[in-house]
């Protein structure tokens, strides 16, 4: 019931198409109008694209105004504008349009020159006002004054232990800038399409502000596409093939590509064959890189062992299985497994933290990786400050440089370069 109310409330707050256009204008200065909005800045009347000086760059996303470089942009939240002050009467819509277009305040006097004068179509102007009216209540989903909803998307086999651990962890973290973390969970299984649909359903119904501890491996592209279109910042704790230029998805560890490169370098061969689920025809290849389902690995190993000159078999951990525990003699010393993170990434503090969270040995890998991603998200929220939006969170994450978690390799992210770590450990079973 409570959840139904939450959904109803968030739908009521959803922006109309007009308000959405106004929001884009407010945040970025962009519009779809054939005549693009421009701004006259300074007393010299220099005309620039409005995208150079969007409203939010001075008045803030929340409209409260941020003092910077000696100028104090006014608070332009609707309730404030509609209130008369000692300096000026209350604004009306026509007076607001005049202020934005001509730089004249409600009292009929010129505003400070720091406030640009904007030229835009009448339609753009009404869109902008429609959004200004809504701005005080406009927040990204999953965010309220005293809570922030953080999602986790887990594999069925590790769901329960990771859920318990994360719930404990977020409770220990306590409120961040006055907001308690409310964890929400989803488990996905089945085909890549089914898992992407489950993620979409989770985002629609639970409305997480951001997602940490997400499991994308095996449905990387499909699930990443959902995070991108719904614009939910997502730390992909478990993923192998998310494209590094995604905007909202942040793979935390080395993916298939980095692992493959490290395996090839370690094997030192020259003729590589990449194998997915089909049985390999080894020919004169001296290295097989296995990127198929773990359940097919045994048959691929058998085919490699039967080759006249058995090749090295190179396996990123996500594709490995128990079959490597009993290798045919022909492959002894010729199987290499890549791990994007191993137990040696755990510091003394990290070990103590895992213990305090009651993590059992049999689930330690999944819990440790999930915890690392949750810690990174918490760190981002702390760095971001109270005025947080999905957009500002993405900017904060894009400035992460060698951020340690104590339980996984340190992470570096930058815009357009979202592979958090290229560390790879090679094991020879």
- Stretch binding ligand HEC (CB under 6 A), from 93-101, 172-180, 222-230, 326-334: 93-101
Residue nearest to ligand HEC (CB): 55
The number of C-alpha atoms within 13 Å of 369 and in the hemisphere containing its C-beta is: 26
Distance CA(5)–CA(13), nearest Å, equals: 12
106: its two tokens: 């409600």
Asked if residue 59 binds ligand HEC (CB under 6 A), the reply is yes
Site string for ligand HEC, 322-361 (x = CB under 6 A): ----------------------------------------
**Contact region for ligand HEC (CB under 6 A) — 96-104, 210-218, 240-248, 394-402?**
96-104
Q: What gap in Å lies between CA 345 and CA 391, rounded to an integer?
A: 31
Q: Using the rule CB under 6 A, which residue among 99, 130, 246, 381 binds ligand HEC? A: 99
Of 364, 366, 407, 369, nearest to 158 by C-alpha is 366
Q: Does 63 bind ligand HEC (CB under 6 A)?
A: no
Answer yes or no whether residue 125 interacts with ligand HEC by CB under 6 A: no
Range in contact with ligand HEC (rule: CB under 6 A) among 114-122, 272-280, 314-322, 359-367: 114-122
Q: Considering only residues 143-162, where is the footprint of ligand HEC by CB under 6 A? A: none
In angstroms, the CA 296 to CA 298 distance is 6
The answer to the question of residue 74 lying near ligand HEC (CB under 6 A) is: yes
DSSP string, 362-381: GGHHHHHHHHHHHHHHHHHH
Q: Which of 24, 144 has the CB closer to ligand HEC? A: 24
Our finding on whether 296 is near ligand HEC (CB under 6 A) is no
Q: Using CB under 6 A, which of the segments 109-117, 337-345, 358-366, 414-422 binds ligand HEC?
A: 109-117
114 touches ligand HEC by CB under 6 A: yes
Strand order across the beta sheet in which 38-41 lies: 46-49, 38-41, 117-119
Q: Which of 40, 53, 203, 262 binds ligand HEC (CB under 6 A)?
A: 53
> Could you tell me which stretch among 66-74, 229-237, 312-320, 407-415 binds ligand HEC (CB under 6 A)?
66-74
* Kind plus residue range of the DSSP H or E element containing 150: strand 147-154
How would you class 94 by CB atoms within 10 Å of its CB: exposed for 0-12, middle for 13-18, buried for 19 or more? Answer: exposed
Subset of residues 274 to 293 that bind ligand HEC, contact rule: CB under 6 A: none
40 contributes a contact to ligand HEC by CB under 6 A:
no
Nearest to 335 by CA among 300, 308, 295: 300
Long-range contact pairs involving 278-283 (C-beta distance under 8 Å, separation at least 24): 279/303, 280/304, 282/307, 282/311
Q: Which residues pair with 426 in a beta bridge?
A: 338
Q: Does 22 bind ligand HEC (CB under 6 A)?
A: no
Question: How far apart are alpha carbons 123 and 229 in whole angstroms?
Answer: 27
Binding range to ligand HEC, per CB under 6 A, among 113-121, 201-209, 309-317, 350-358: 113-121
| Residues 335/327, Cβ–Cβ less than 8 Å | yes
Q: Classify 49 as helix, strand or coil.
A: strand
Whose Cβ is closer to ligand HEC: residue 75's or residue 342's?
A: 75
Binding site for ligand HEC (CB under 6 A): 53, 55, 57-59, 71, 73-74, 76, 88, 96, 99-100, 105-106, 111-112, 114-116, 118, 128
């Amino acid at each position: 019931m409570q959840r139904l109310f939450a959904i109803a409330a968030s739908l009521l707050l959803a922006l109309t198409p007009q308000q959405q256009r106004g929001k884009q204008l407010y945040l970025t200065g962009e519009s779809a109008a054939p005549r693009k909005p421009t701004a006259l800045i300074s007393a010299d009347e220099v005309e620039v694209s409005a995208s150079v000086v969007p409203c939010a760059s001075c008045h803030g996303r929340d409209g409260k105004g941020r003092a910077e470089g000696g100028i104090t942009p006014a608070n332009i939240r609707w309730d404030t504008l509609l209130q008369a002050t000692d300096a000026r009467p209350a604004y009306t819509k026509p007076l607001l349009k005049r202020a934005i277009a001509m730089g004249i305040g409600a009292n009929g006097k010129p505003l400070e020159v720091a406030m640009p004068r904007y030229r835009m179509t009448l339609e753009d102007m009404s869109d902008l006002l429609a959004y200004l009216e809504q701005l005080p209540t406009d927040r990204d989903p999953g965010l309220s004054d005293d809570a922030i909803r953080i999602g986790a998307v887990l594999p069925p086999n590790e769901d329960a232990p990771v859920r318990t651990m994360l719930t404990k962890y977020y409770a220990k973290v306590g409120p961040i800038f006055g907001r308690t973390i409310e964890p929400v969970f989803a488990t996905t299984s089945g085909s890549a399409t089914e898992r992407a649909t489950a993620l979409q359903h989770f985002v629609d119904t639970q409305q997480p502000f951001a997602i940490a501890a997400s499991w994308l491996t095996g449905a990387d592209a499909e699930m990443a596409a959902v995070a991108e279109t719904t614009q939910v910042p997502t730390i992909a704790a478990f993923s192998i093939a998310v494209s590094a230029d995604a905007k909202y998805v942040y793979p935390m560890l080395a993916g298939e590509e980095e692992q493959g490169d490290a395996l090839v370098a370690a094997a030192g061969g020259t003729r590589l064959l990449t194998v997915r689920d089909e049985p390999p025809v080894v020919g004169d290849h001296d290295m097989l890189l296995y990127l198929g389902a773990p359940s097919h690995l045994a048959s691929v190993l058998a085919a490699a062992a039967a080759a006249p000159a058995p090749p090295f078999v190179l396996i990123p951990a996500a594709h490995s299985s128990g079959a490597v525990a009993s290798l045919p003699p022909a492959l002894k010393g010729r199987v290499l497994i890549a791990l994007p993170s191993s137990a040696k990434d755990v510091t003394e503090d990290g070990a103590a933290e895992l213990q305090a969270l009651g993590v059992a040995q049999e689930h330690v890998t999944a819990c440790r990786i999930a915890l690392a991603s949750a810690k990174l998200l918490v760190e981002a929220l702390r760095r971001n400050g109270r005025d947080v939006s999905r957009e500002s969170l993405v900017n904060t994450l894009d400035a992460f440089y060698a951020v340690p978690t104590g339980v996984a390799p340190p992470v570096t992210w930058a815009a357009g370069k979202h592979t958090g770590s290229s560390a790879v450990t090679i094991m020879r079973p």
